[in-house]
Structure 1
Amino acid sequence: MATEQYTTDHAAHAEEHETMTKSKIWRVFFILLGITAVEFFIALYLLPKGILNHGIGNFSYIILTLVKAFYIVAYFMHLKFERVAFKTSIVVALIFIVYFIVLLLTEGSYLHIHMAN
């Protein structure tokens, strides 16, 4: 009975990872390549010509980089095929890390302002 459960779980897990075919890998590769091309277009054409504001350019870099990070983590690190609880634990940890970085930067600038006076 335990062997049947192991075989069923193992087969289901293997089936999830079999969905990552060569065609999907290439599709994700070309999506990442397209996003990178857009970033280069922004950096080498739109910003120097003054067509795009630097604030909007930086915001678009952040968004495009987060999209690229999602594709890398989801497909190449196989997080897309994991269970929801594991995904949630990773996302919560990431949120806390970003939150702590923002807090450290905020406190660092606050300390610099008050130490100068």
Structure 2
Amino acid sequence: MSEHSHLEEGHAHGEHAGMDKAKIWKVAGILTLITAIEFIIALWAIPGGHISQHVGNYIYIALTLIKAFYIVAYFMHLKYEKLGLQLALTVSFIFIIYFIVLMLTEGGFLNIHMMNH
């Protein structure tokens, strides 16, 4: 029984060999930097009139998607998965986002249309 648990530990260690301490700190630093940029946009750039709310929202969404990529790729270990699983999850995510955008667009149209009638 002791040998069995030792083999399981060895297998788990080999699976995540791509994530050493240096890589974890690098990814954490990137995430911290992106978060700091988001705070600067939200608390200084938009209220100070340096960029418009509309442009700030697009930048904020892009930075949030980049953070989501790093979290999913490195901390959820998707980067080390096989290409088939990566494609299946990525395509599903793209379709979900596409349908959300469609629903928001149609909802906005219906809102305008219903107010006029």
* TM-score bucket (shorter structure): 0.7 to 0.9
The one-letter amino acid of 2:71's match is I
Q: CA deviation at 1:101?
A: 0.7
Name the CA distance, whole Å, in 2 between partners of 1:63 and 1:18: 30
Q: CA RMSD in A?
A: 1.9
Name the CA distance, whole Å, in 1 between partners of 2:53 and 2:113: 29
2:47 counterpart of 1:48:
yes
The higher relative CO (CA closer than 8 Å, separation ≥ 6) is in 1
Aligned ranges for residues 80-91 of structure 1 at < 5 Å? 80-91=79-90
The one-letter amino acid of 1:34's match is L
Paired position in structure 1 for 2:94: 95
TM-score (structure 1 length as normaliser): 0.82
After TM superposition, the structure 1 stretch with the greater mean CA deviation from structure 2, 67-76 or 48-57, is: 48-57
TM-score (structure 2 length as normaliser): 0.82
Name the CA distance, whole Å, in 2 between partners of 1:93 and 1:25: 27
Structure 1, unpaired ranges of 5+: 1-10
Paired position in structure 2 for 1:107: 106
Name the CA distance, whole Å, in 1 between partners of 2:78 and 2:103: 29
Inter-CA distance 85–12: structure 2 relative to 1 (3 Å threshold): farther
Aligned ranges for residues 1-117 of structure 1 at < 5 Å? 15=14, 17-116=16-115, 117=117
Name the CA distance, whole Å, in 2 between partners of 1:42 and 1:114: 34
Structure 2, unpaired ranges of 5+: 1-9
Corresponding residue SS for 2:79:
helix
Deviation string 1:38-69 (CA, Å, 9 cap, x unpaired) is 11111111111111222221111011101100
The one-letter amino acid of 1:78's match is H
